[in-house]
Amino acid sequence: MNAITKLFSSSSDRKLLSLYFCAGAPTLDSTANVILTMQRRGIDMIEVGIPFSDPMADGPVIQDAATKSLKNGMTLQTLFDQLGSIKQQVNIPLVLMGYLNPIMQYGIEHFCQSCVEAGVSGMIIPDLPFKDYLEDIKPVADRYDLRVIMLITPETSEERIRFIDEHTEGFIYMVSSAATTGAQQSFDEQKQDYFRRINAMNLRNPRMIGFGISNRQTLESAQANAAGAIIGSKFVTLFDQEKDADRALDRLFEALAN
């Protein structure tokens, strides 16, 4: 069974926490250690960022991490090599998050094959048009039992959300706002209305809420309205400051408790 599917089917009685980091930042060789440390500290799922020179959906924190990663020499092949070296030690889902251009240059068939060989269970491609997903990506990903995770925002129509729900597996990435990534102090009433609206749709797929989660208020709000929460910018900031995954997680957990 795909590890993402297995995670959600076996954790209906608790709320999940997924973390994002950019592979190759702050150092080229930090990827394996970050993943193993997150797993040891109880993180349920990890989004591994593929650096790209024009990350349009990302705020300045993740853009800066991507720039550092590229300067450090990170490539898709290097990333797959790093992930493959720890495949036997990783028992939580790994999801690659990256933009379409580097993946298409690598080759979608080659990409999916490399994902399986490296222990990756799915991918998030923020700039992937849904039509291209259905026609070009999904058939290949399905052959390799990989989950392609789609994003929805407050501006996504109900018709499109239901279409996404019908044609995807794994989970739906519920973006808390239409803005770029970045930590927020609270989710206002408008976002709460959005959460309630999606809850009322009774979708088939579980949902994870991301973008802006950085403290107890935003974490609890996300967890109350979905299967769990995804944290990116807050951890990336702390990891860049500490240069040590354990210390960064200590500070993250402290922030999430306050």
User: Which residues are annotated as catalytic?
Assistant: 47, 58
Hey, CA dihedral for 103, 153, 150, 207, is it positive or negative? positive
The SS3 call for residue 244 is coil
Helix segments in the chain, DSSP class H? 3-9, 31-40, 60-72, 76-85, 100-106, 108-118, 130-132, 138-143, 158-167, 189-199, 216-224, 233-242, 245-256
- Taking a C-beta distance cutoff of 8 angstroms, is the pair 94, 36 a contact? no
244: its two tokens: 């040590």
As a whole number of angstroms, the distance between CA 215 and CA 65 comes to 21
- Taking a C-beta distance cutoff of 8 angstroms, is the pair 229, 209 a contact? yes
Cis amide prior to 129 (ω within 30 degrees)? no
Longest dimension (CA), the chain: 45
Strands 228-231 and 172-175, how do they pair? unpaired
As a whole number of angstroms, the distance between CA 120 and CA 129 comes to 22
